[in-house]
Chains A and B, each alone.
Chain A
Amino acid sequence: MKKNLSFLLILLLVISTVSFAGGNKEESDGLTLGLSLSTLNNPFFVTLKEGAEAKAAELGAKLIIVDSQDDPSKEATNIEDLIQKGVDALLINPTDADAIVPSIKKANAAGIPVFTIDRGAAGGDVVSHIASDNVAGGKMAAEYMVELLGGKGNVVELEGIAGTSAARDRGKGFNSVVSGNSGLSVVARQTANFNRAEGLSVFENILQAQSEISAVFAHNDEMILGAVQAAEAAGRTGIIFIGFDAVDDAVNAVKSGKLAATVAQQPAEIGSLGVDAAVKSLSGGSVESSIPVPLALVTK
């Protein structure tokens, strides 16, 4: 008897657990969007999610969010589940550009339109890619630098990992402004692989080689913070430092005046524009195949 009782108890528990959390809210009139995020263990993507949720609520669409936990295999599983669930569109922030391709092809086969967010995909049919406009961010940094320098001076560029789209685009934007400005000359351009320790050692060497440096732009904050340390250790002052990403350390450095500025991505805006594009496309509107999201300059 005792066992039958425990059996019933477990049955009850399982059913109640599932029902408390789920309930039967399957059918709804509005659009249902699936949002697959690479991770929710990173404030950037949590903010992106919140931006998407706010926009979905505004437009009356339902948003189902799944978390890949940075694991492409979990991601494939989650997206298959969303396809089974019959969502109207998929917004995907891939963990990896290659590993996402089979999932996108599955969605394509099921006739579900796919939008990529923040990171792109290497294949499959994607309606639109929504991401920060890194070229514009690089330009923004360069223009601010020109303004601070009064259009004259020796400039150093610390580049990110070669071949990454972030390094390529940020550098492209920065150089488009700098090369058009005859007062500025780039005296050193080296990679520090997005890494603080490398930013430090690379800039130490540059300091040895160059006696006059007016400003430094780095493709991310880690490298620029390394460069700031190197300049402090060498006792070199009067250099203007501009970073990219607006990580906490960098924002604090801007506040304390060590950093002139850092370029901030706007994750909430990325999420919001993603949902907006999906709803617009599903309602028969046309959307651009690439939607650049504006960036913002953080200064003191």
Chain B
Amino acid sequence: MNLKETDIKDFLRRYSVAMILLIMVISLSLFSWRFLRPANLINISLQTSIVAIVAIGMTFTILTGGIDLSVGSVMALCGALASGCIVRNGFPIYTAILLALIIGVGIGFLNGLLIVKGNIPPFVATLAVMAISRGLTLVYTQGRPISGMGDDFVYWGSGKIGVLPVPVIILFIIFLISYIILRHTRFGLHIYAIGGNEETARLAGINNDKSKIFVYMISSFTAALAGILLTARLWSAQPNAGVGLELEAIAATVLGGTSLMGGYGGTGGTVVGAFIMGVLANGLNLLEITADYQRVIKGIIFILAVMFDIYTKKEKKKG
């Protein structure tokens, strides 16, 4: 084995997800000249940003070996609460947003408590909270959309700073914060340790319970934020917003190379994973592929991408 070949292998291992994204971008630009136009790339970033923000929070829970199925419902609930407080109660915009975010974080705290103190598996606890949050959303909205929040609110989902849409800039900030937490703080280290082996982490003196509760609060925070951004993007809070979004967020995380067993991965891969899905959806639309085939193709590419990732990781362990 010569040096050059190991270099390539190492590169592939490290950036396998990014490579998949790159391949897709190159092949799509060959088939549609519109794909690489700056307007379309900004378009894709905007479309991806909301799922990516939720997926970053999801990555935290998955890194500890958990999962958060409640994110889609939390999005809907917090989007509706923020809008409702503005439209129905006449709250100032930022008071309403702050209140919705606090309630979102509170739901995450509840998730964490159920899992840590109630000893309920994360899948079950967050599934229950998902149902409760959706139900509360329907009660609060009476099943009807809420609109009329005004331009200052709508700006957060539809406005631009320079050429970049506001949600894209928020995604960038959230990603930076998540990167710093995971790579440069003690808490980040604890997350990986818990996901790697909970018992060992405990013996090493880590307060597993506290860290886990905090992780679910982060996940709910990003979901609440994404819900507010989505509401601002659609100029209305939809009672059925975010249905099925938890699966997209999990898919982005797994595509991004984070292990569902926990302990391995990171938010950089997750953002790339979200962009793979965004690029795919946009590309298939530009290529005029009908909706039914789009689902089939998305499924196939998802399997291929994960297989490719698993394969390169396995090689790494062998080497």
**Chain A residues engaging chain B, CB cutoff 8 angstroms:** 1, 3-4, 6-7, 10-11, 13-15, 17-19, 21-26, 40, 64-67, 69-73, 76-78, 80-82, 84-86, 96, 98-99, 101-102, 122
Contact = CB atoms under 8 A, between A and B. Distances in A.
B28 A18 contact: yes
A84 B233 CA distance: 18
Contacts of B211: none
Contact of A66 (B20, B147, B285, B312): B285
B288 A99 contact: no
Binding site secondary structure of chain A: helix
16 contacts: A3-B12, A4-B8, A10-B20, A10-B23, A10-B308, A18-B28, A18-B297, A22-B32, A22-B287, A22-B289, A71-B243, A73-B233, A73-B242, A84-B39, A96-B236, A102-B234
B227 to A, nearest CB: 11
A82 B233 CA distance: 17
Nearest to A20: B297
Given A80-B43, A99-B236, A65 B290 contact: yes
7 closest residue pairs by CB, A with B? A22-B287, A67-B291, A81-B285, A98-B236, A98-B147, A99-B234, A15-B27
A26 B33 contact: yes
B50 interface: yes
Contact of A96 (B30, B46, B238): B238
Contacts of B315: 3
Interface of B: 5, 8-9, 12, 19-20, 23-24, 27-28, 30-34, 37, 39-40, 43, 46-47, 50, 145, 147, 154, 158, 230, 233-236, 238, 240-244, 281-293, 297, 300-301, 304, 308, 311-312, 315
A64 to B, nearest CB: 5
Nearest to A63: B288
A7 B301 CA distance: 14
B17 to A, nearest CB: 12
A70 B240 contact: yes
A91 to B, nearest CB: 15
A85 B288 CA distance: 9
A13 B300 CA distance: 10
A122 B240 CA distance: 19
Contacts of A18: 27-28, 31, 283, 287, 297
A6 B308 contact: yes
A96 B145 CA distance: 8
B40 A84 contact: yes
A101 B235 contact: yes
A11 B23 contact: yes
Contact of B158 (A19, A65, A82, A102): A102
A22 B242 CA distance: 29
B234 A81 contact: no
A15 B304 CA distance: 12
Contact of B43 (A64, A67, A84): A84
Contacts of B24: 14
